[in-house]
Structure 1
Amino acid sequence: MIIEKVVTNINQLSKDELNGRHQEKVFLESADLVKRIQRVKTDHGRELGIRLKENRELKAGDILYMDDHNMIVIDVLVDDLLIIRPRNIHEMGTVAHQLGNRHLPAQFEADEMLIQYDYLVEELLRDLDVPFNREERKVTQAFRHIGHSHGA
Protein backbone atom coordinates (compact mmCIF):
# COMPACT_ATOMS: atom_id res chain seq x y z
CA MET A 1 0.00 0.00 0.00
CA ILE A 2 1.28 3.47 -0.92
CA ILE A 3 0.21 6.36 1.31
CA GLU A 4 0.14 9.71 -0.49
CA LYS A 5 -1.68 11.85 2.07
CA VAL A 6 -2.50 12.01 5.75
CA VAL A 7 -6.22 11.42 6.37
CA THR A 8 -6.37 13.45 9.60
CA ASN A 9 -4.89 13.38 13.10
CA ILE A 10 -6.32 11.13 15.77
CA ASN A 11 -6.69 14.16 18.05
CA GLN A 12 -9.21 15.61 15.57
CA LEU A 13 -11.57 12.62 15.89
CA SER A 14 -14.42 12.31 18.35
CA LYS A 15 -14.83 9.31 20.65
CA ASP A 16 -17.64 8.08 18.38
CA GLU A 17 -15.33 8.18 15.35
CA LEU A 18 -12.64 6.25 17.25
CA ASN A 19 -14.99 3.75 18.85
CA GLY A 20 -14.88 0.33 17.25
CA ARG A 21 -11.94 1.04 14.95
CA HIS A 22 -8.88 -1.14 15.33
CA GLN A 23 -5.63 0.85 15.49
CA GLU A 24 -2.58 -0.42 13.70
CA LYS A 25 0.54 1.62 14.51
CA VAL A 26 3.61 2.73 12.61
CA PHE A 27 6.38 3.54 15.08
CA LEU A 28 8.87 6.15 13.84
CA GLU A 29 11.89 7.82 15.33
CA SER A 30 11.32 11.56 15.67
CA ALA A 31 13.94 12.23 12.96
CA ASP A 32 11.85 10.21 10.47
CA LEU A 33 8.84 12.51 10.86
CA VAL A 34 10.41 14.94 8.34
CA LYS A 35 10.78 12.32 5.61
CA ARG A 36 8.06 12.61 2.94
CA ILE A 37 9.19 9.39 1.24
CA GLN A 38 9.96 6.28 3.27
CA ARG A 39 9.23 2.60 3.67
CA VAL A 40 7.71 1.58 7.01
CA LYS A 41 6.23 -1.47 8.71
CA THR A 42 3.23 -1.48 11.04
CA ASP A 43 3.13 -3.25 14.38
CA HIS A 44 1.13 -5.96 12.55
CA GLY A 45 3.93 -6.54 10.02
CA ARG A 46 2.22 -4.77 7.10
CA GLU A 47 4.67 -2.93 4.85
CA LEU A 48 3.70 0.54 3.63
CA GLY A 49 5.28 3.05 1.34
CA ILE A 50 4.82 6.68 2.32
CA ARG A 51 5.10 9.18 -0.51
CA LEU A 52 3.37 12.36 0.63
CA LYS A 53 2.25 14.62 -2.21
CA GLU A 54 2.04 17.70 -0.03
CA ASN A 55 5.07 19.29 1.57
CA ARG A 56 4.37 18.53 5.22
CA GLU A 57 5.93 16.70 8.10
CA LEU A 58 4.35 13.75 9.83
CA LYS A 59 3.19 14.16 13.42
CA ALA A 60 2.38 11.75 16.20
CA GLY A 61 -1.25 10.74 15.81
CA ASP A 62 -1.42 11.27 12.04
CA ILE A 63 -3.76 8.76 10.44
CA LEU A 64 -2.34 7.26 7.25
CA TYR A 65 -5.33 5.06 6.45
CA MET A 66 -8.87 4.76 7.80
CA ASP A 67 -11.98 2.79 6.90
CA ASP A 68 -15.06 1.83 8.94
CA HIS A 69 -13.18 -0.79 10.97
CA ASN A 70 -9.44 -0.01 10.89
CA MET A 71 -6.94 2.80 10.97
CA ILE A 72 -3.18 3.07 10.64
CA VAL A 73 -1.72 5.70 12.97
CA ILE A 74 1.75 7.23 13.35
CA ASP A 75 3.30 6.86 16.79
CA VAL A 76 6.72 8.14 17.83
CA LEU A 77 9.43 6.21 19.66
CA VAL A 78 10.87 7.79 22.77
CA ASP A 79 13.88 10.09 22.51
CA ASP A 80 16.69 10.50 25.02
CA LEU A 81 16.17 14.12 26.05
CA LEU A 82 17.41 16.82 28.35
CA ILE A 83 14.42 18.61 29.88
CA ILE A 84 15.60 22.08 30.88
CA ARG A 85 13.61 24.17 33.37
CA PRO A 86 15.19 27.62 33.73
CA ARG A 87 14.08 29.45 36.90
CA ASN A 88 14.12 32.94 35.39
CA ILE A 89 14.61 34.93 32.20
CA HIS A 90 18.35 35.29 32.82
CA GLU A 91 18.86 31.51 32.95
CA MET A 92 16.65 31.09 29.91
CA GLY A 93 18.64 33.66 27.94
CA THR A 94 21.95 32.10 28.95
CA VAL A 95 20.83 28.59 27.99
CA ALA A 96 19.27 29.75 24.71
CA HIS A 97 22.46 31.62 23.79
CA GLN A 98 24.68 28.61 24.59
CA LEU A 99 22.46 26.19 22.65
CA GLY A 100 22.21 28.63 19.72
CA ASN A 101 26.00 28.81 19.54
CA ARG A 102 26.00 25.02 19.19
CA HIS A 103 23.19 25.13 16.59
CA LEU A 104 21.15 22.67 18.66
CA PRO A 105 17.44 22.48 17.88
CA ALA A 106 15.03 22.79 20.79
CA GLN A 107 11.34 22.29 21.39
CA PHE A 108 9.19 23.87 24.05
CA GLU A 109 6.38 22.35 26.11
CA ALA A 110 4.80 24.59 28.76
CA ASP A 111 7.77 25.95 30.76
CA GLU A 112 10.21 23.26 29.61
CA MET A 113 12.87 23.36 26.91
CA LEU A 114 13.53 19.96 25.32
CA ILE A 115 16.71 19.05 23.48
CA GLN A 116 18.14 15.73 22.39
CA TYR A 117 20.63 14.35 24.89
CA ASP A 118 24.20 15.59 24.57
CA TYR A 119 26.74 14.93 27.31
CA LEU A 120 28.46 18.27 26.67
CA VAL A 121 25.19 20.17 27.16
CA GLU A 122 24.51 18.12 30.30
CA GLU A 123 27.92 19.23 31.62
CA LEU A 124 27.21 22.86 30.64
CA LEU A 125 23.87 22.86 32.46
CA ARG A 126 25.55 21.49 35.58
CA ASP A 127 28.23 24.21 35.36
CA LEU A 128 25.56 26.91 34.90
CA ASP A 129 23.48 25.41 37.75
CA VAL A 130 20.36 25.40 35.57
CA PRO A 131 17.72 22.81 36.59
CA PHE A 132 17.32 19.91 34.15
CA ASN A 133 16.52 16.22 33.98
CA ARG A 134 17.46 13.52 31.54
CA GLU A 135 14.33 11.67 30.43
CA GLU A 136 13.10 9.33 27.77
CA ARG A 137 10.03 11.00 26.31
CA LYS A 138 8.00 11.02 23.12
CA VAL A 139 7.97 14.24 21.11
CA THR A 140 5.19 14.99 18.66
CA GLN A 141 7.39 16.52 15.99
CA ALA A 142 10.94 16.22 14.72
CA PHE A 143 13.79 18.34 16.04
CA ARG A 144 14.51 20.75 13.20
CA HIS A 145 17.89 22.29 12.43
CA ILE A 146 17.55 25.80 11.09
CA GLY A 147 19.87 26.50 8.19
CA HIS A 148 22.40 29.20 8.99
CA SER A 149 25.93 30.13 8.08
CA HIS A 150 28.34 32.50 9.76
CA GLY A 151 29.96 33.54 6.49
CA ALA A 152 29.00 36.65 4.50
Structure 2
Amino acid sequence: MIIEKIVGNIASLSKRAPHVERVYLQSDDLVKRVQRVVTDHGKELGVRLKENRELIDGDVLYMDEKNMIVISVKDDDLITIKPTSIGQMGDIAHQLGNRHLPAQFEGDEMLVQYDYLVEELLQKLEIPYQRENRKVRKAFRHIGHSHD
Protein backbone atom coordinates (compact mmCIF):
# COMPACT_ATOMS: atom_id res chain seq x y z
CA MET A 1 0.00 0.00 0.00
CA ILE A 2 1.26 3.48 -0.90
CA ILE A 3 0.22 6.41 1.32
CA GLU A 4 0.09 9.70 -0.58
CA LYS A 5 -1.83 11.90 1.86
CA ILE A 6 -2.50 12.18 5.57
CA VAL A 7 -6.08 11.40 6.63
CA GLY A 8 -5.85 13.70 9.67
CA ASN A 9 -4.46 13.63 13.18
CA ILE A 10 -5.79 11.35 15.90
CA ALA A 11 -5.96 14.31 18.31
CA SER A 12 -8.57 16.08 16.17
CA LEU A 13 -10.49 13.25 14.49
CA SER A 14 -14.14 12.97 15.51
CA LYS A 15 -14.50 9.44 14.14
CA ARG A 16 -11.99 6.65 14.82
CA ALA A 17 -11.63 3.05 13.75
CA PRO A 18 -11.81 0.47 16.56
CA HIS A 19 -8.44 -1.15 15.70
CA VAL A 20 -5.23 0.91 15.71
CA GLU A 21 -1.91 -0.10 14.18
CA ARG A 22 1.11 2.06 14.91
CA VAL A 23 4.12 3.05 12.85
CA TYR A 24 6.95 3.98 15.23
CA LEU A 25 9.34 6.58 13.81
CA GLN A 26 12.40 8.43 15.05
CA SER A 27 11.80 12.19 15.08
CA ASP A 28 14.37 12.55 12.25
CA ASP A 29 12.12 10.45 10.00
CA LEU A 30 9.23 12.91 10.31
CA VAL A 31 10.80 15.17 7.67
CA LYS A 32 10.98 12.43 5.02
CA ARG A 33 8.20 12.68 2.44
CA VAL A 34 9.21 9.36 0.85
CA GLN A 35 10.00 6.33 3.00
CA ARG A 36 9.18 2.68 3.63
CA VAL A 37 7.66 1.92 7.04
CA VAL A 38 6.34 -1.14 8.89
CA THR A 39 3.43 -1.16 11.35
CA ASP A 40 3.60 -2.84 14.74
CA HIS A 41 1.54 -5.63 13.12
CA GLY A 42 4.16 -6.21 10.41
CA LYS A 43 2.32 -4.51 7.54
CA GLU A 44 4.70 -2.77 5.09
CA LEU A 45 3.71 0.62 3.70
CA GLY A 46 5.26 3.06 1.31
CA VAL A 47 4.86 6.72 2.21
CA ARG A 48 5.08 9.13 -0.72
CA LEU A 49 3.38 12.36 0.35
CA LYS A 50 2.16 14.56 -2.49
CA GLU A 51 1.95 17.67 -0.33
CA ASN A 52 5.06 19.34 1.04
CA ARG A 53 4.56 18.77 4.76
CA GLU A 54 6.25 16.96 7.60
CA LEU A 55 4.69 14.12 9.53
CA ILE A 56 3.78 14.76 13.16
CA ASP A 57 2.99 12.49 16.08
CA GLY A 58 -0.57 11.22 15.78
CA ASP A 59 -0.90 11.59 12.00
CA VAL A 60 -3.29 9.02 10.54
CA LEU A 61 -1.85 7.39 7.42
CA TYR A 62 -4.85 5.18 6.68
CA MET A 63 -8.35 4.63 8.03
CA ASP A 64 -11.37 2.53 7.12
CA GLU A 65 -14.33 1.33 9.20
CA LYS A 66 -12.27 -1.26 11.09
CA ASN A 67 -8.63 -0.19 11.07
CA MET A 68 -6.43 2.88 11.27
CA ILE A 69 -2.67 3.32 10.98
CA VAL A 70 -1.18 6.06 13.14
CA ILE A 71 2.29 7.61 13.43
CA SER A 72 3.87 7.37 16.89
CA VAL A 73 7.15 9.15 17.50
CA LYS A 74 9.79 7.36 19.55
CA ASP A 75 11.34 9.13 22.52
CA ASP A 76 14.42 11.27 21.86
CA ASP A 77 17.42 11.68 24.16
CA LEU A 78 16.94 15.34 25.09
CA ILE A 79 18.28 18.08 27.27
CA THR A 80 15.42 20.06 28.76
CA ILE A 81 16.73 23.53 29.63
CA LYS A 82 14.88 25.46 32.33
CA PRO A 83 16.36 28.95 32.63
CA THR A 84 15.41 30.88 35.76
CA SER A 85 15.66 34.33 34.18
CA ILE A 86 15.42 36.10 30.85
CA GLY A 87 19.18 36.67 31.10
CA GLN A 88 19.86 32.94 31.32
CA MET A 89 17.48 32.29 28.43
CA GLY A 90 19.19 34.91 26.29
CA ASP A 91 22.64 33.61 27.16
CA ILE A 92 21.93 29.97 26.34
CA ALA A 93 19.87 30.85 23.23
CA HIS A 94 22.80 32.93 21.96
CA GLN A 95 25.32 30.15 22.70
CA LEU A 96 23.22 27.44 21.03
CA GLY A 97 22.40 29.71 18.09
CA ASN A 98 26.10 30.22 17.45
CA ARG A 99 26.39 26.43 17.22
CA HIS A 100 23.40 26.25 14.85
CA LEU A 101 21.68 23.72 17.11
CA PRO A 102 17.97 23.26 16.47
CA ALA A 103 15.74 23.80 19.49
CA GLN A 104 12.07 23.46 20.31
CA PHE A 105 10.08 25.24 22.99
CA GLU A 106 7.35 23.84 25.21
CA GLY A 107 6.05 26.32 27.76
CA ASP A 108 9.06 27.71 29.63
CA GLU A 109 11.36 24.88 28.53
CA MET A 110 13.87 24.78 25.71
CA LEU A 111 14.44 21.31 24.22
CA VAL A 112 17.59 20.28 22.36
CA GLN A 113 18.85 16.87 21.33
CA TYR A 114 21.41 15.52 23.76
CA ASP A 115 25.00 16.62 23.20
CA TYR A 116 27.66 16.29 25.88
CA LEU A 117 29.16 19.66 24.87
CA VAL A 118 25.81 21.37 25.50
CA GLU A 119 25.58 19.61 28.84
CA GLU A 120 29.06 20.87 29.79
CA LEU A 121 28.12 24.40 28.70
CA LEU A 122 24.96 24.37 30.82
CA GLN A 123 26.94 23.19 33.84
CA LYS A 124 29.54 25.93 33.28
CA LEU A 125 26.86 28.63 32.94
CA GLU A 126 24.92 27.15 35.90
CA ILE A 127 21.70 27.00 33.92
CA PRO A 128 19.20 24.42 35.23
CA TYR A 129 18.57 21.48 32.91
CA GLN A 130 17.81 17.81 32.92
CA ARG A 131 18.53 14.98 30.53
CA GLU A 132 15.50 12.89 29.68
CA ASN A 133 13.95 10.60 27.12
CA ARG A 134 10.92 12.41 25.79
CA LYS A 135 8.66 12.38 22.76
CA VAL A 136 8.65 15.45 20.52
CA ARG A 137 5.76 16.16 18.18
CA LYS A 138 7.88 17.60 15.38
CA ALA A 139 11.32 16.87 13.99
CA PHE A 140 14.30 18.99 14.97
CA ARG A 141 15.06 21.07 11.88
CA HIS A 142 18.60 22.08 11.01
CA ILE A 143 18.50 25.44 9.31
CA GLY A 144 21.18 25.98 6.71
CA HIS A 145 23.27 29.09 7.25
CA SER A 146 26.74 30.26 6.39
CA HIS A 147 28.94 33.03 7.71
CA ASP A 148 30.06 34.75 4.50
TM-score, normalised via structure 2 length = 0.98
Q: Following the alignment from structure 1 to structure 2, what is the Cα–Cα distance between the partners of residues 95 and 21?
A: 46
Matched with 2:6 is 6
Aligned length: 148
From 101, 116, 128, the counterpart of 2:125: 128
Matched with 1:118 is 115
1:42 aligns with 2:39: yes
Q: Following the alignment from structure 2 to structure 1, what is the Cα–Cα distance between the partners of residues 32 and 140?
A: 12
Determine what percentage of the aligned residue pairs are the same residue: 69
Q: Following the alignment from structure 1 to structure 2, what is the Cα–Cα distance between the partners of residues 124 and 78?
A: 24
Q: Any residues of structure 2 matched to 1:15-34 within 5 Å, and which?
A: 17-18=15-16, 21-34=18-31
Q: Following the alignment from structure 2 to structure 1, what is the Cα–Cα distance between the partners of residues 20 and 119?
A: 38
List runs of 5+ in structure 1 lacking aligned partners: none
List runs of 5+ in structure 2 lacking aligned partners: none
Q: Following the alignment from structure 1 to structure 2, what is the Cα–Cα distance between the partners of residues 138 and 74?
A: 12
RMSD: 0.7
Matched with 2:93 is 96
The one-character-per-residue Cα deviations of 1:18-68 (angstroms, maximum 9, x if unpaired) are 3x5211000000000000000000000000000000000000000000011
From 56, 60, 63, the counterpart of 2:57: 60
Q: Structure 1 stretches (4+) deviating beyond 6 angstroms?
A: none
From 131, 134, 137, the counterpart of 2:134: 137
Matched with 2:79 is 82
Q: Following the alignment from structure 1 to structure 2, what is the Cα–Cα distance between the partners of residues 28 and 86?
A: 30
SS in 1 for 2:137: coil
Q: Following the alignment from structure 1 to structure 2, what is the Cα–Cα distance between the partners of residues 73 and 21?
A: 12
SS in 2 for 1:12: coil
The one-character-per-residue Cα deviations of 1:69-95 (angstroms, maximum 9, x if unpaired) are 110000001100000000011000000
Higher helix fraction (1 or 2): 1
